[in-house]
Structure 1
Amino acid sequence: MTNEQLWVKYKEHNSNEAKEALIIHYVSLVKIIAGRLFTSYNAHVEFDDLLGYGVIGLIDAIEKFDHKKQIKFETYANIRIRGAIIDEIRHLDWIPRSTRQKYKRIEDAITKLQAEYGYDIPDEIVAEEMGMPLDEYLKLLGEVTTYSVVSLEEKIDDNTSFDIKSSNQDFEPETHYIDEEMKMLLADVIDKLPEKERLVLQLYYYSELTYKEIAEVLSVSESRVSQIHTKAISKLRISLKSVY
């Protein structure tokens, strides 16, 4: 039985067997999304937990999906699955307040210095602004890497809400506009980042390389990749804070 037939059987004839078949068919999508997020959160949550959260999102997506609309299920489900996982991670509240405070100090310093230096701010200058030795600042960047990713995820999720409400486009017009505006803003900021920061973002998010693999490409240490990633993410988040 084809996927199209399964959708008709489930949505139009309320077949539990068809629903189960759809879940089994699309669970591979959950594994891909959970695996991708696991690279950011593995020190704090088990992969099987992320997989479980994602399956909940998949089931929700299958139940709410309108198979008659002109949109691929994978596109819709990706958003629901990722959102379900991120929501559950938020509820865990595993990030210490001290880490959040440390990251805010970095973000505040970069925000202040961007007015003078733009997006290419030397580490030495940020360390001086924070009143700490360079090695201590670099160590701090590594410590808050995971939270920097989480904070950006939350900022993006808080300002986008996807759903299928129109037969003419994938999402509601207002939401579609906000989503496109955010993409344009992030793309503009990424274009202004120093070359290494742009490259790390490209390799991590688009090529989906690990820190270890990126380190080999750039001929630097994994800790240095982590530091570069944190700086790039903080600049993206600052740009979103200024608008949303």
Structure 2
Amino acid sequence: MTRLNHQEKAKEFDKWISWKQEGNKDAETELIMRFLPLVTKVANRLAIGLPATVDKEDLISFGRFGLLDALQKFDHTRGLQFETYAMWRIRGAMIDGLRENDWIPRTVRDKAKKIEEAYTRLEQEKLRTPTDAEVCEYLGMTEKELQQVLYDTSLAAMVSIDEAVGEEDEQKTARHSYIVDEMTPRPESVAEAKSLKEVLSKCIDKLPEKERLVVSLFYFEELTLSEIADVMNLSPSRISQLHSKAIFRLRSALTRWKSQLL
């Protein structure tokens, strides 16, 4: 979607007024069509590391419901950017759709939890990032088995980073949104958001080089799985594994940060 100029923004705002305040269904349809490409954009980004059994068309189908929900609940009078709000809602709808359709088996969730615990325990014991060999020894598996588990649990890792942080449903913000540079508009949340960003920033800096590059390219440069694979001259499955390991480490840091607040 292209960035709008001032005149185009004014026209778009008029459509919101026409629909929300005057009940113009044509204006509603125009807004739906205007923002429909966001669904495909989110689906393409969420597809990084997902198992081949997950059909992107299913993600798009789930995401359309998220877009409609975002359009209904968005308050156009607050002067906020709809795209940011909508992409969070669309992403949430896709994640909910995957959960409801049981795309993540219990065995996969259990493996993901064990890997996360391994990274957390080893980082606390060694006061540094553990190597793959150390994680394998801790879990009692070969490095090949670990890489397969990381690939199999990539969806679980993605879901974990999309879990919301907050109290009320309307105010929740997904953890991954703190990785990109977005501040919550509510004053009482600024301190928490700033603290969380600092924690994540330090954790990202400590990631192994390849994992740090994957996080940077995906969350900051907004490259897709295939694009990152091309840049790093690695296979998409390897990028998925690196992404999974990075997310486990970030999640571990978030867990420690959260425990310090209690």
Q: Please give the TM-score of this superposition, normalised by the length of structure 1.
A: 0.84
What is the deviation of 1:121? Answer: 1.5
**Equivalent residue for 1:182?**
196
What is the deviation of 1:162? Answer: 5.0
Cα distance in 1 for residues equivalent to 2:111 and 2:44? 28
Q: Which amino acid aligns with 1:21?
A: E
Alignment partner of 1:13 out of 11, 15, 22: 22
What is the deviation of 1:12? Answer: 1.7
Q: Which has the higher contact order (CA 8 A, sep 6+)?
A: 2
Alignment partner of 1:230 out of 222, 241, 244: 244
**Equivalent residue for 2:216?**
202
Cα distance in 1 for residues equivalent to 2:226 and 2:72? 39
Cα distance in 2 for residues equivalent to 1:187 and 1:125? 24
Unaligned runs of 5+ in 2: 1-7, 173-182
What is the deviation of 1:199? Answer: 0.7
What is the deviation of 1:198? Answer: 0.5
CA contact (8 A) 2:63 2:91 kept: yes
The 5 Å alignment of 1:1-244 reads 2-41=11-50, 43-154=52-163, 157-159=164-166, 162-163=170-171, 171-244=185-258
What is the deviation of 1:222? Answer: 4.1
CA contact (8 A) 2:49 2:239 kept: no
What is the deviation of 1:27? Answer: 0.7
What is the deviation of 1:170? Answer: 6.0
Percent of counterpart pairs with the same letter? Answer: 40
CA contact (8 A) 1:119 1:235 kept: no
1:115-170 C-alpha deviation (Å, 9 max, x unpaired): 2333432211111112223333333323322222222222xx25475549xxxx96
Cα distance in 1 for residues equivalent to 2:230 and 2:189? 39
Report the aligned-residue RMSD.
Answer: 2.7
Structure 1 residues 133 and 61, CA gap change in structure 2 (3 angstroms): closer
Structure 1 residues 221 and 47, CA gap change in structure 2 (3 angstroms): closer
CA contact (8 A) 1:124 1:134 kept: yes
Structure 1 residues 56 and 122, CA gap change in structure 2 (3 angstroms): same
For residue 78 of structure 2, give the secondary structure of its aligned residue in structure 1: coil
CA contact (8 A) 2:47 2:225 kept: no
**Equivalent residue for 2:5?**
none
Structure 1 residues 95 and 15, CA gap change in structure 2 (3 angstroms): same
CA contact (8 A) 1:162 1:171 kept: no
CA contact (8 A) 2:214 2:239 kept: yes
What is the deviation of 1:196? Answer: 1.7
Cα distance in 1 for residues equivalent to 2:147 and 2:57? 32
CA contact (8 A) 2:51 2:155 kept: no
Q: Between Structure 1 and Structure 2, how many residues are aligned?
A: 238
Structure 1 residues 77 and 139, CA gap change in structure 2 (3 angstroms): closer
Q: Which amino acid aligns with 1:187?
A: S
Structure 1 residues 3 and 210, CA gap change in structure 2 (3 angstroms): closer
Cα distance in 2 for residues equivalent to 1:215 and 1:98? 28
After TM superposition, the structure 1 stretch with the greater mean CA deviation from structure 2, 5-14 or 40-49, is 40-49
For residue 76 of structure 2, give the secondary structure of its aligned residue in structure 1: coil
Unaligned runs of 5+ in 1: none
1:14-72 C-alpha deviation (Å, 9 max, x unpaired): 11111111111111122211222133436243222222222222222222222221212
After TM superposition, the structure 1 stretch with the greater mean CA deviation from structure 2, 212-221 or 195-204, is 212-221
Structure 1 residues 41 and 176, CA gap change in structure 2 (3 angstroms): farther
Cα distance in 2 for residues equivalent to 1:213 and 1:77? 24
After TM superposition, the structure 1 stretch with the greater mean CA deviation from structure 2, 169-178 or 203-212, is 169-178
